[in-house]
Amino acid sequence: MKTGRFIVFQVALTIILTCCNTGNGRWQADQSKLLSKERPVKFSGSYRAQEFSDTNRLQKIINSLAGIEKVCNDFAKSNHLPGLVYGIVMDDSMVISGGTGMTDISNRQQVNSKSLFRIASMTKGFTAMAVLKLRDEGRLSLADPAYKYIPELNNLTYLTGDASPVTIHNLLNMTAGFPEDNPWGDRKLDMTVKDLVSMLDEGISFSTVPSTEYEYSNLGYAILGDIISRVSGMPFQEYITREILKPLGMTNTCWEYSDAPADLLAKGYKWDDGDWAAEPTLHDGAFASMGGLITSAEDFSKWVSCLLSAWPPRNGPENGPVKRSTLREMQIQGETTLYPDANDQFGNPCPFTYGYGYGLVVIKWCSGQVWVMHSGGLPGFGSHYLLLPDYGIGIFSFANLTYASTSQLDYEIKKMLFSEGSPDTRHLPCSDILAERGGQVLQLINTWDTTLESMILADNFYLDQSRQERIATTRRILITAGRITSVDPVIPENQLRGKIIMHGERARIELFFTLTPENVPKVQELTMRLFRENNQ
């Protein structure tokens, strides 16, 4: 096979500071979206967003290029992939893309970054965003029962008498109680809207009670597609194209394969008895909202950049199809499953939690690293993407082989990026009030000045531990540490909590403090820990 190599060396644009408005949970966030249309959000002009200090982030990825190309070529060969395309996104740009093989075996059409692949269930993120956009506009609520928009769902027979009706929220995060339906749903892509509604009217079988368990459901996202169509007054394909794809610049993405340029369209294949055999390609239909999008590496990189732009929360203008707070809402874990015996990519024990957000899978590792991801699989196609929000990096891959597990390729690319000299995460600058209180706390433990105490200490401070005991404990720690030779700047955990490291001749001191939620935050907690030499 001929190997294509298409590399984009674009330095990520400067991060624009933007405004943050998040709730404390899905339902609170749902309410806040509606309220925000009536009352502008007030925000702090002094807030400083997380930022990257590593000026060599891009080059570290470029340095992995040769190894990434080899891994991808080897992966395509060992898995009998007719064609494969992949991309790496940093911040708002695709910085590396490449591919190998053919989109069409009969005419030996080579893969490139404009080749169009059906991405299957990775479509679900677009459907979820469309629902949330309608919610943001006040046209529906995630708490609404689905039957409010599709009356045919009003007479469902639930498993128990105490079951709550299936809501839009249930459909989004796969807790509607429908059974896993990949083999069946994958063959329903071209179902007509009439047939979908007729099926719903006949009734749906439940595997669990709504809101009690996660179970992957393509049917749920087909229903969401119909809700989008009814609420927007146009087919969901048209709404998603107009309101999401075009604003993102995904102008070469489509739903119907016959609309795609023949010289760019990847045809689907299966590996059968030592050779490739063509898979029938299904037309666009009512189930397309669960897996029907056809896109290229160039176009899909814009979707990845959009999701990455949710982080960090910041001040400034909104530039996407939906607000950044909505993008972050998509990336919140839903019903969570713990995998306690898992290992990380290097084979080290590291449990993780798995949960389905809104059209996205969210994994949180014991190390604190977060993965946002989704796979796609249909007869003739396999795809996957992996986002690392803390690093501003996204990795994706498409193949034109039935249920090709390209997730393994993405993980291998990720492993290469992080094996040596990996990009750093963002760091949080210290807020003005935290830095000010940090300086005052250092002054306090040396002087115990009563005027300073009254100015910076919360009313609970000496109720939790007497003044006399605090002074005695502090002096004992300072004497043990010896003369203080240096003091590090405040290390923030968030806007109102942080620590200071004091280096003494005989030991170091870790001084932790946290502030109150009052309008003028005061010190509510102050602890000092002593670390002798070689005791880390």
Question: Closest by alpha carbon to 123, among 228, 231, 258, 5?
Answer: 228
Per-residue pLDDT tens listing for the chain (536 residues): 444 444 443 333 333 223 333 333 444 444 444 444 556 788 888 888 899 988 888 988 988 899 999 999 999 999 999 999 999 999 999 999 999 999 999 999 999 999 999 999 999 999 999 999 999 999 999 999 999 999 999 989 999 999 999 999 999 999 999 999 999 999 999 999 999 999 999 999 999 999 999 999 999 999 999 999 999 999 999 999 999 999 999 999 999 999 999 999 999 999 998 999 999 999 999 999 999 999 999 999 999 999 999 999 999 999 999 999 999 999 999 989 999 999 987 889 999 999 999 999 999 999 999 999 999 999 999 999 999 999 999 999 999 999 999 999 999 999 999 876 677 889 999 999 999 999 999 999 999 999 999 999 999 999 999 999 999 999 999 999 999 999 999 999 999 999 999 999 999 999 999 999 999 999 999 999 999 864 44
C-alpha distances in Å from residue 67, one per residue of 72, 99, 288, 397, 420: 9, 14, 36, 16, 12
Residue 455 and residue 367 share a domain: no
Let me know if residue 250 belongs to a domain.
no
Let me know if residue 372 belongs to a domain.
yes
Q: Which of 398, 419, 440 is the last residue of a domain?
A: 419
**Number of domains composing the chain:** 3
Residue 149 and residue 72 share a domain: no
Range of the domain at 472: 432-532
How far apart (Å, rounded) are the C-alpha atoms in residues 454 and 275? Answer: 81
Let me know if residue 252 belongs to a domain.
no
Residue 221 and residue 202 share a domain: yes
CATH of the domain at 342: 3.40.710.10
Residue 439 and residue 488 share a domain: yes
Look up residue 112 and give its two tokens.
């490139």
Residue 516 and residue 469 share a domain: yes
Let me know if residue 361 belongs to a domain.
yes
How far apart (Å, rounded) are the C-alpha atoms in residues 366 and 466? Answer: 37
CATH of the domain at 160: 1.20.58
Q: How close are the terminal C-alpha atoms of the chain, in Å? A: 54
DSSP per-residue codes, 4-54: EEE----PPPPPPP------SSHHHHHHHHHHHTTSPPP--TT----B---
Question: Closest by alpha carbon to 269, among 277, 259, 261, 260?
Answer: 277
How far apart (Å, rounded) are the C-alpha atoms in residues 402 and 383? Answer: 10
Residue 33 and residue 97 share a domain: yes
C-alpha distances in Å from residue 271, one per residue of 189, 263, 375, 400: 22, 22, 20, 11
Residue 304 and residue 190 share a domain: no
Q: Which of 368, 391, 419 is the last residue of a domain?
A: 419
Residue 316 and residue 228 share a domain: no
In this structure, are residues 313 and 328 in contact, taking their beta carbons and an 8 Å threshold?
Answer: yes
How far apart (Å, rounded) are the C-alpha atoms in residues 217 and 184? Answer: 10
How far apart (Å, rounded) are the C-alpha atoms in residues 101 and 108? Answer: 9
Let me know if residue 254 belongs to a domain.
no
**H-assigned helices in 165-318:** 168-172, 182-185, 193-202, 218-232, 236-240, 246-248, 288-291, 297-308
The 10 Å CB-count burial string (b at 16+, else e) for 426-454 is bebbbbebbeebbebbbebbeeeeeeebe
How far apart (Å, rounded) are the C-alpha atoms in residues 409 and 77? Answer: 12
C-beta neighbour count of 153 within 10 angstroms: 21
How far apart (Å, rounded) are the C-alpha atoms in residues 68 and 409? Answer: 10
Q: Which of 356, 389, 419 is the last residue of a domain?
A: 419
Residue 408 and residue 274 share a domain: yes
Look up residue 397 and give its two tokens.
């891959």
Let me know if residue 468 belongs to a domain.
yes
Beta partners for 384? 375, 397
Let me know if residue 295 belongs to a domain.
yes
Residue 112 and residue 145 share a domain: no
Please give the distance of CA 416 from its chain centroid, rounded to a whole number.
21
Let me know if residue 244 belongs to a domain.
no
Residue 215 and residue 111 share a domain: no
Residue 273 and residue 403 share a domain: yes
